[in-house]
Amino acid sequence: MLFCAAMTMNGPDPVLHMLHGRHTSLVLEQVPGQPPLWRHWGARLPDGVASGPGLIASRPVPTFSLDAPVPFSLFPGFGLGWYGQSALLAHRNGRDFAQGFATSNLAAEPGRLICTLDDEVAGIRVVVELALDAGTDVLTVRTRLTNRGSQPLAIQWLAAAVLPLPAGALAVRHHHGRHNREFAEAVDALGHGIWLRENRRGLTGHDGVPGAVVMMPGATEQAGTAYGAQLAWSGNSRQCIEWLDDGRYQWQLGEFLAPGEVVLAPGETLAAPDVLATCSLAGSGGVARNFHGAVRRRQAWPGGAMRPRPVLINTWEGFYFDHDPARLMALADAAAEVGIERFVLDDGWFAGRRDDRRALGDWWVDTGIYPDGLRPLADHVRRRGMEFGLWVEPEMVNPHSDLFRAYPEWALQLPGRPLATARNQLVLDLTRPAVADHLFERLSALVGDLGVAYLKWDHNRDLAPAGDAAARAAYRRQVLANWQLMDRLRAAHPQLEIESCAGGGGRIDAGMAARVQRFWASDCIDALLRIGLQRGFQQFLPPELMGAHIGAARCHTTGRVFTLGFQALVAMQGHLGVEQDITRMDSTERAKLAGWIGLYKQYRHLLHGGEVWRGTAGDGVAWHAAGNGLEWLLILYRTAVMEQRHTSPLPLPFLGTGRYDIAEIRPGETRPHQLYDGAWLAHAGLPIPPG
């Protein structure tokens, strides 16, 4: 074939709708009788760019095809000629299983497109809202479906977003894992088929955030084109990437729905979770930075803005269930002396709680341990200049508890099925108003009576079975009820902060990030393992939300031994805390800990709220940089014994063209400064000291 290109001003153009970010653009083509067609999502296009002929007009009809093939659209239907994954699977008692949508309205606003799609035959309306934030290049997709028919509509699948990926997409980077080993990275090649990930655990799950990163050829951590998407949802999820007949891929994300879980009565609406999606021309690291900006804009900080993230101490690995008020007050004294700003009392403070087999649900203070209640400890903590925090697990109940004995029907269950316990506990049915009201009253009383500034909110098991009072699947309604309970509690106590914990990293997602101020990334604080784990967390969420602790020298979960300095440098990537009984430290070690805490406080304005760059440099070197363009903090890790006599210099691609004053810093030490040109450091690299 031979083509000739010459400039012309003639010829009708298709109707295009565009959204532009800093570095990316989104283009939809409006066609009669169909949803808008995906034409482009990628590098920034000039304003007013013309596409040439429309998508349908520019393509011949393939052999053995419909005479009018159905092209890839914003919301592909099922059963009328689109043979790929459809955006909807639904029916009315077996009828209306096929859907064909037409655009009834497409409203364009600055940075936003709102597309209303109607199927008049099936009686279904779908509204898809696309908002591209120019500051972060993150696209937020919101999808709502309304049953406009006269009979109930059963929903099997509703895509929260349908996204295009270019031909040539090479691989998908995602995360898997388990309790104590979250965010293990995996890379799968994309081919002529479907890549599928589903979660059916009832909460986000230890095996990964409901999202992924797609790499184009040549893309790396620092350069090249990469796409990312994540579902802002704390429950069951599904995402698939499917090869299409024109060489492109479609990427769908949404809730995994249990059988019969969503049946819409006439007039009812189902709102899918938000999807955050982005294209970056700066590799997977650029995807992460875009996501950080978008999640920060969704944050609900007390007072409306993030304050410096306070250093905390958590009592779990130092004390477990062995609570002693005198020892805990001594811990508070030691914590204040080393510069800790928040004291969190973990599991074991409430009535009859001596181990993990009893008392969950009985949320009043154990007077056998605390004869005067928790007020003396809380007041002592505050007198030492720290905030008082408390561990709770509101959504759970032990069969061996007063609450369960009084209200056994309050647990999620199914008639005729066994009550399956995990960690000796069951899950309370938050969809029952009486349960939600009871939990709100108990939590609100604790926060108000004790002056609690911070709740570590745990959730130590998956959902099975998840039947409500009517024996119907309650997975998604349980998530919404949990969100509503958190929102209600924070509305009653506006200064309260909440940490989301689910056996560590079992409920980490952008939906939860809109209502909590911290995530416990993993119950494992092995510093070497945490380097990769925290890299996975920060692919989707910003570092100030990531709890990262300095534990005992010998890690409680892996038995490996680490120096205090190495642990501190790993914990400094996130919201720093301490997880050990520091009263057992000698004065020298305690002084070192105070030094590292002081260093964190000195530089947390760089560690939180700015840009994050990460990478590896070979020869066992990993690095993490955080800053604001003018000032940067670079942390280097030696993860293996050197193989080379001299480690190669480390390029610093985040630096600008000015001159930089570089100094190695350690607590209590002053090192010589060196002046470097930013361009030199970006390309030739920074010499790495041996270690």
Print burial letters for 176-190: b (CB count within 10 Å at least 16), e (below 16). Answer: bbebbbbbbbeeeeb
Q: 619 with 648: CB under 8 angstroms?
A: yes
**Catalytic annotation present for 274:** no
Q: Which residue has the tokens 């939990």?
A: 439
Pairing of strands 342-345, 387-392: parallel
| Element at 124 (helix H, strand E) | strand 124-133
Among left, alpha and beta (phi > 0; psi -120 to 50; other), residue 219 is beta
In sign, the C-alpha dihedral spanning 664, 309, 513, 558 is positive
Query: Which among 535, 539, 655 is positioned nearest to 287, based on CA atoms?
Result: 539
Tokens representing 229 are 């998407």
Taking the C-alpha atoms of residue 163 and residue 511, their distance in angstroms, rounded to an integer, is 19
Residue spans of beta strands (DSSP E) within 190-261 = 194-199, 211-215, 226-231, 237-243, 249-254
Q: 145 with 126: CB under 8 angstroms?
A: yes
Query: What does the DSSP assignment read for 197-209?
Result: EEE-SSSS-TT--
Catalytic residue among 458, 462, 468, 526: 458
* Cα separation of the two ends of the chain: 60
Q: Cβ-count burial of 194 within 10 angstroms (0-12 exposed, 13-18 middle, 19+ buried)?
A: middle
3-state helix, strand, coil in the chain (%, to 5): 20, 30, 45
Taking the C-alpha atoms of residue 664 and residue 655, their distance in angstroms, rounded to an integer, is 17
Q: 241 with 195: CB under 8 angstroms?
A: yes
Taking the C-alpha atoms of residue 117 and residue 73, their distance in angstroms, rounded to an integer, is 12
Q: What is the CA radius of gyration of the chain?
A: 27
3-state secondary structure 474-489: CHHHHHHHHHHHHHHH
409 — phi, psi (to 5°)?
A: -70, -10
Q: What's the full length of the chain, in residues?
A: 691
Query: Which among 376, 362, 393 is positioned nearest to 455, based on CA atoms?
Result: 393
Taking the C-alpha atoms of residue 345 and residue 360, their distance in angstroms, rounded to an integer, is 16
280 — phi, psi (to 5°)?
A: -125, 140
30 — phi, psi (to 5°)?
A: -90, 130
Query: How many angstroms separate the Cα of 577 from the Cα of each of 48, 269, 340, 672?
Result: 51, 43, 8, 30
Query: Which among 491, 485, 465, 472 is positioned nearest to 395, based on CA atoms?
Result: 485
Catalytic residue among 96, 274, 468, 523: 523
**Catalytic annotation present for 324:** no
Sorted by sequence, the CB contacts under 8 Å of residue 648 that are 6+ apart come out as 617, 618, 619, 685, 688
Tokens representing 449 are 């009576």
- The catalytic residues are 458, 523
